Amino acid sequence: MTSTIKLNADNYPIKSVTVFKSNKAEVVRVFDLSLQPGQSKIQISHLPRAIDTDSARVSGLGDAQLFDVVCSIDRGIEEIDPLSTSEVVRKLKVKKDALVQDRDALDDISGTMVDYSRTLVGDKVSPDQAGKFFDTLLTRSQTLRTTRVELEEEILQLTRQIDVLSSTEETKQGKSDGEVTVVIVTKQATEIELKLTYLVQNATWSAAYELHATTDAGVPSPSVSLHYHARITQSTGEDWTDVALTLSTADMDLSTQSIPTLIPTKICPPKNPFNRFRPSTNGPSQPIAPKFPFPPPNAAQGSFGQSQPVAQPPSGAFGSAPSGRVWASPAFEPHLTSQQDEDLFCMATNPPSPRGRFGFAAPPQEPEPQPVPAPADDGWQAVCVDLTLSDEPAPIAEPTAVVHESPLALTYHVEGASRVPSDGVPHQLAVAVLPFSATLQHVAVPKARPVAYLHATVRNTSDYRLLAGPVHTFVDDAFAARTALPHDVALGDTFHCTLGADPATRIRYARTSRRADKPLDAAARAFSEQWASTAFASRTTITNSHPFALRELVLRDAVPVSEDGERVNVVLRRPAALADLEQDEELEVGAEVGEGAKEAGEGEGGRKEGLFEWVVDVGAGEEVTIETEWDVKAPVSLKW
């Protein structure tokens, strides 16, 4: 005989939850059950609709034997649960309506008594009778008023309960029509702690940070603390109340993986639907000219059948030839008669040597493997890679490999019991407080904005891998700036944060220009183009109002670069030696502007984009001026 046990999941606690980065979470529920000997069918209802029906598993059965586990979504008529929030609200509303009706009845009785007292006539009622009537009326009125006050209080309390439950029901997202049926067989009466584990969707988390810095007598302290938070959002349909919460960086969407199948590569003769080759026993076969000749490979046809020169293939970024091969069929090359000039794959036997970006020869490359021709007596003159084994010739393509770089998943256990309702709103929980040492520096980009920012470079010396996420910075517990970690920060790596603008460091920036045309006489104008030179000058003034010196303040600037070196020339006048610097090289330019100037890093553009940095020291209460001058020479008729 099979006994059926029906359980409402809302009445049993959630033991633990693990939230993944892939919009999924693993939920563990515990059910304490007493089973009789024989087969028991346990129906667990009111599970979230977002449940993964293939993920339900049962454990903790002890000596009991598991026969079956079925997880489904019941989208039919939902069975009314007397303990559900909606049912409780309905019952409260019914009770409130009854109390309102009782209150209205008391009001009607009071009104009737007052109306009756007005009908009394003095010549028909004796004074004793009138006194007794009014005593009775007063007693009844007091009783009615007391009862009415009690009813009003009960109605008010019911209204408040209904409002609270209704607001909870409105904010809760997700439905609870999932169901798990478990069949267990026991030989004797026993008590078990059934553990149900399943995956749900619509749950995710992300990292968020607060970087707290302090100052000592106005001087920023190098000791900072990073508050590591987790923002959890879930709308699974079930509230996580007092659960042990774990955060994982694993991606459950990639949990099903297999070793890729290797596709065989075969060498075979080409399909020959057009009889492009005629086998010969006396020697190598010769390609047959097509019926409608094609233009030679080094010519292209114009719109009206006229031959036009073919543009040369573009060179690489440093002047080298492109690395890809050109694969062609001999049937489309009627002018190819000698393999000494080109091989079967249309590769030039003597390609030009690639050259570097600045005219230097590129380092020699390893010789690429050449195709091995088939024996002369087999009658075939082509080598192909056939992956489709079809009757039609297929284009040859090199296989591509997709690389998934997946480091080991990290897990973060949130201390204490956590509560995350199913409302779709981000809830921020504390993960850890990490103390760090930071390198502080002032950085300014006056050309974009004349403001000096306090910049912190922090090395991750903790045991945590810092995930990408927003960062709010605070200085002396006051909000300073909002920034972000654009990518993950591994152990030992550094990250950068802006601690806001420094109002005590003032920066003024000005740029001037002056144009001068070079006049030419009449004879020269007939044979030469008139040129104009425009002189530019930028002036940046840094004022340090702090009572302490600013060491190695970084001031980023840029001079224009010409994309047309033949017609537009840019000449750097001051500092002149900056034009001779290589990438990341530094130059001492004098004490009046501090330590010196250097090209910006490669990741920031650097020499190719005309970017450079000044690194200056500004004493307490002092002012430093930095000037940059350059000329732009171009034809007068050229607009730039």
All domains in the chain, ordered by first residue: 2-78+177-201 (2.60.40), 85-171 (1.10.287), 205-250+409-501 (no CATH), 265-279+370-398 (no CATH), 518-635 (no CATH)
pLDDT at 412: 84
Q: What does the pLDDT look like over 586-601, one tens digit per residue?
A: 656 554 444 455 544 4
272 confidence band (pLDDT: 50, 70, 90): low
pTM, 2 dp: 0.61
Q: What does the pLDDT look like over 487-509, one tens digit per residue?
A: 999 989 999 999 999 999 999 99
pLDDT at 591: 42
167 vs 155 pLDDT, higher one: 155
| Helical packing angle, 85-117 and 127-171, nearest 10° | 160
172 confidence band (pLDDT: 50, 70, 90): confident
Spatial distance between the Cα atoms of 267 and 385, rounded to a whole number of angstroms: 5
| pLDDT greater than 60 at residue 398 | no
| pLDDT greater than 60 at residue 112 | yes
511 vs 82 pLDDT, higher one: 511
Ranking 105-119, 383-397, 572-586, 602-616 by mean pLDDT, the lowest is: 383-397
| pLDDT greater than 50 at residue 612 | yes
Q: Taking Cα atoms as reference points, which of 595, 621, 609 lies closest to residue 441?
A: 595
Ranking 228-242, 542-556, 576-590 by mean pLDDT, the lowest is: 576-590
Q: Taking Cα atoms as reference points, which of 195, 189, 137 lies closest to residue 12?
A: 195
| pLDDT greater than 70 at residue 377 | no
Contacts of residue 47, defined as CB under 8 A and 6 or more positions apart, other chains included, come to 9, 176, 178, 179, 180, 198, 238
| pLDDT greater than 90 at residue 474 | yes
The mean per-residue pLDDT over the stretch 506-531 comes to 71
Q: Taking Cα atoms as reference points, which of 96, 94, 50, 101 lies closest to residue 71?
A: 50
The mean per-residue pLDDT over the stretch 475-483 comes to 92
pLDDT at 463: 84
| pLDDT greater than 50 at residue 467 | yes
R_g of the chain, CA atoms, integer Å: 43
346, 366 contact by CB (below 8 A):
no
Spatial distance between the Cα atoms of 224 and 497, rounded to a whole number of angstroms: 11
Phi and psi torsions of 106, nearest 5°: -60, -40
The mean per-residue pLDDT over the stretch 345-353 comes to 39
523 confidence band (pLDDT: 50, 70, 90): low
The mean per-residue pLDDT over the stretch 387-393 comes to 40
pLDDT at 249: 86
The mean per-residue pLDDT over the stretch 252-266 comes to 75
pLDDT at 587: 58
| Burial per residue of 91-124, b for 16 or more beta-carbon CB atoms within 10 angstroms, e otherwise | ebeeebeebeebbeebeeebeeeeeeeeeeeeee
3-state secondary structure 429-482: EEEEEEEEEEEEEEEEECCCEEEEEEEEEEECCCCCCECCEEEEEEECCEEEEE
The mean per-residue pLDDT over the stretch 473-482 comes to 92
| pLDDT greater than 50 at residue 400 | no
| pLDDT greater than 60 at residue 335 | no
Residue that has been written with the tokens 């069918």 in this structure:
41
560: left (phi over 0), alpha (psi -120 to 50) or beta: beta
pLDDT at 242: 92
Spatial distance between the Cα atoms of 416 and 349, rounded to a whole number of angstroms: 72
98 vs 395 pLDDT, higher one: 98
| pLDDT greater than 70 at residue 121 | no
Largest separation between any pair of C-alpha atoms in the chain: 153
| pLDDT greater than 70 at residue 202 | yes
Pair of tokens at residue 558: 């840029």
Question: What percentage of the chain exceeds 90 in pLDDT?
Answer: 32
Ranking 291-300, 458-467, 527-536, 554-563 by mean pLDDT, the lowest is: 291-300
- Considering the chain, what is the average pLDDT of its residues? 75
| Cis bond upstream, residue 295 (ω within 30) | no
Pair of tokens at residue 277: 């080759």
pLDDT at 264: 87
492 vs 119 pLDDT, higher one: 492
258 confidence band (pLDDT: 50, 70, 90): confident
pLDDT at 209: 95
pLDDT at 518: 59
Q: Within a 10 A sphere around the Cβ of 194, how many other Cβ atoms? A: 23
| pLDDT greater than 80 at residue 189 | yes
42 confidence band (pLDDT: 50, 70, 90): very high
The mean per-residue pLDDT over the stretch 415-436 comes to 89
Residue 277's alpha-carbon distances to 288, 289, 328, 343, 389, in angstroms, are: 6, 10, 15, 16, 20
300, 308 contact by CB (below 8 A):
yes
